[in-house]
Structure 1
Amino acid sequence: MLDEMVFRSEDVCAADRFDYWTELLGRTHAPMELCSDHAGDFRASQRVLDLGAVTVWSATFQPLVFRRTPKLIRQSDPEAYHLSLVVSGTGAGVWRHRETEYKPYDLFINSSSLPNDVYSIGDPVQTVALEVPKALLPLSRDMAGRIVGAPVSARDGMGALLAQFLTRLVADPSAYRPSDRPRLASIATPLVAALFAHLLDAGDRLPPETHRRALLLRIQAFVREHLHDRHLTPSTIAAAHHISTSYLHRLFQDEDATVAAWIRRLRLEAARRDLADPALRLVPIHAIAARWGFPRAADFSRAYRAAYGTTPRDHRHQALPHRE
């Protein structure tokens, strides 16, 4: 079962509940100013699933105003994107560049780095949310502005894919083992990337750089989805996106690795997770290597040592010291 943290305002006395909730959100998300007509006896609960870099939670609370001011952002910014599925209740988000209203089964997209006021109305308000570090989805401030507050329905299209993943995950965390955490995070991040790419690729009026970044996000999501395919190469990726291989390489010029090097790094990271997974301790190393696109054991061992300074076998022995 996944580790789950549960917080309830009723865990403290009525007079302290609102301050307790304000302090809790500051620790688990980002410091905020909160305002509510129910501050005298505030009722709220939150279940948090830690997937490593990515965090998923469900929350139920009374009507509330959330405010991130420039001063709070300067004091503390976790630099994360926040995506929240509205299950019940309504609300609105207000930024300098946009105002957006929300209703049940809309997706609300926010950034910890942008000042905003968020109004949640309903008794109770229910949400299922996801936080992803910006480092996993690097966008310029202008592009982030195009995404944050963009109206997204969770009833169809890319929004529905993400909503289905979130609702199924929080509905039964007991269906997953702790070792599933990185696997679940590796599903969530490409879904968010694909949604962002969809929003950025909204029309021909967008600047060329925005189209380029949207295409790059789509390609990165595609690569993560097809890492198991040993035939995944720059040429097959380019063909799947109807671009030339040379243009694909140009897309990656400003990234920290070439296309092939990035694919290899993702595959090695996936293999490294599997080698440390107790549920896979009886799976031969060469089978894990082949699963992640390394059909030759010698090539895998050489690449692994170059990346991590140790052999796959030694890493597995260190991670699983009680192997039978």
Structure 2
Amino acid sequence: MIGTVFRSEDVPAEDRFEYWRELMDRTIAPSDISSEYAADFWAEQRLLKLGPVTVWPASFLPMRFRRNAKLIRQSDPEEHHLTLLLGGSLGLDHAGRTDLYQPRDLWVTDTSRPYDVRPPDGAGRRAVAGVGVEFPKALLPVPPDRARELLGRRLSGQEGTGALLSGFLTGLHQESDSLQPSDAPRLGRVLLDLLAAWSAQVLDTEAGLPPETRHRAMTERIRAFVRQNLHDPELTPPVIAAAHHISLSYLHRLFQEEKSGETVAAWIRAQRLEGARRDLSDPALHGTPIHAVAARWGLPRGSGFTRVFRTAYGISPKEYRFQAPATAE
């Protein structure tokens, strides 16, 4: 597992909101934080340190974050803050823009400029959920005058590189229990590349990105595409290359440059086998025939699936399903 977890119920009720405020001051740039629900507060947060990047999936009762000129003079970490909203809604005043954000929207703020993040009128007690990202402004390969064009804009997390960035952030949260501390630096580099590629797409400055950033962003885009299409038995390297308008040789080169050195086909097979393994260990799917599990993940049926499964896990699918209740994580 990577990251630390905060749950308000672990703190005495009378101290919860003040504890949360102190936690937020350590996580983001110091802000004036208030809530109508301070007396009966609830919040959860996971804090992930990925090298120079901090990611913090969180859910909390409606509150207001205000950062003014005085707070900026007192402390300015010189960072950008990215928010991916997943539940509820929030209003933002920042850099001369005012907007209301809904689930799957993205926005960027600058710690050197005032902001006001607040629940909309009539929000009630409905919790807000999202993922926050803090990263040094100097690490975004965009000229400062162009980076200012991002601030306070309501941007989509459902299309293009925005969807890829959103998927990566939600995946980090979902998989954080299975990730190891040694994964953190690599994940931080991938996230910075995705942030760079996303901002360049929004600002139409993709040609100015370093080649290695473009390559890593493309690799992550391909991996996301593969994960979404693992059920398709026709998903092959030529199909993947064509879908991304790149040559087959370039696709292979992208994977060869990865630290693992795994081929495209081997990585696809490993993802499919891992999906099948999870299904075989799921009690809710115990009645699903093994050949149907294999077909669901685009794997060969019958003896072909048994052979590749045994090669990967040292046991047949049938034997694994029988032992899974005792061995599954």
| CA contact 1:129–1:166 (8 Å) conserved in 2 | no
Note the aligned Cα RMSD (angstroms).
2.6
Measured against aligned partners, the alpha-carbon deviations of 1:189-247 in whole angstroms (never above 9, x if no partner) come to 0110011112222xxxxxxxxx5xx53237562155589xxxxxxxxxxxx9xxxxxxx
Query: Does residue 53 of the first structure (1) align with residue 56 of the second (2)?
Result: no
State how far apart, in whole Å, the 2-side matches of 1:114 and 1:70 are: 7
Change over 3 Å in CA distance of 1:75–1:128 after alignment to 2: same
Q: Secondary structure at the match of 2:6?
A: strand
- Pairwise CA distance, 1:93: 0.8
2:141–2:196 Cα contact (<8 Å) kept: no
| 1:64-143 correspondence to structure 2 within 5 Å | 64-120=63-119, 122=123, 123-137=126-140, 139-143=142-146
Answer with 216-225 or 154-163: which moved more. 216-225
Q: Report the Cα offset of residue 141 of structure 1.
A: 4.4
8 Å CA contact retained: 1:196, 1:217:
no
2: CA distance, partners of 1:51 / 1:72: 26
What letter matches 1:89 in structure 2? G
Q: Tell me which residue corresponds to 2:40.
A: 41
Partners of 1:175 and 1:44 lie apart in 2 by 23
1:75 partner letter:
Q
Q: Partner amino acid for 2:75?
A: S
Q: Secondary structure at the match of 1:58?
A: strand
Partner of 1:195: 198
Count of aligned residue pairs for this structure pair: 221
Which residue pairs with 2:189 in the alignment? 186
Change (3 A) 1:226 1:11: closer
Within 2, Cα distance between the matches of 1:134 and 1:70?
19
Deviation at 1:103, TM superposition (A): 0.4
2:65 partner amino acid: F
Task: Render the CA deviation track for 1:220-277: whole Å, top value 9, x for unaligned.
Answer: 62155589xxxxxxxxxxxx9xxxxxxxxxxxxxxxxxxxxxxxxxx9xx98xx9xxx
| Distance (Å, rounded) in 1 between the aligned partners of 2:182 and 2:9 | 32
The DSSP-based 3-state class of the residue aligned with 1:99 is strand
1:197 aligned counterpart, secondary structure: helix
**C-alpha spacing 1:45/1:174, structure 2 compared with 1 (3 Å):** closer
Residue correspondence of structure 1 range 1-324 to structure 2 within 5 A = 1-2=1-2, 4-120=3-119, 122=123, 123-137=126-140, 139-201=142-204, 215-217=207-209, 219=211, 221-225=213-217
Q: CA deviation at 1:157?
A: 1.1
1:161 aligns to what SS in structure 2?
helix
Q: 1:14: Cα distance to partner?
A: 2.5
Provide structure 1 residue ranges, at least 5 long, that are not aligned to the other structure: 202-210, 228-239, 241-266, 275-324
Offset, 1:108? 2.2
**Which residue identity does 1:17 align to in structure 2?**
R
* C-alpha contact 2:194 2:217 (8 A) present in aligned 1: no
Q: Secondary structure of 2:112's partner? A: coil
Q: For the Cα contact (< 8 Å) 2:106–2:156, is it kept in 1?
A: yes
Distance 1:175 1:34, change over 3 A: same
Distance 1:193 1:23 in 2: 30
1:75 Cα deviation after fit: 1.0
Give, as a single letter, the amino acid of the residue that structure 2 aligns with 1:160.
Answer: A
The whole-number CA distance in structure 2 between the counterparts of 1:226 and 1:104 is 25
Contact 1:193 1:218 in 2 (8 A): no
In 2, Cα distance between the equivalents of 1:96 and 1:111?
9
Does structure 1 conserve the Cα–Cα contact (< 8 Å) formed by 2:82 and 2:107?
A: yes
CA contact (8 A) 2:95 2:151 kept: no
Task: Check the 8 A contact 2:95/2:152 in 1, yes or no.
Answer: no
TM-score by length of 2: 0.61
Aligned partners of 2:17, 2:217: CA distance in 1, in Å? 42
Percent identity of equivalent pairs: 45
Aligned mates of 2:72, 2:141 — CA distance in 1 = 18
Distance 1:149 1:220, change over 3 A: farther
- Aligned partners of 2:92 and 2:118 also within 8 Å: yes
Structure 2: how far apart are the matches of 1:34 and 1:134?
23
Residue matched to 1:205: none
Instruction: Give the AA of the match of 2:200.
Output: A
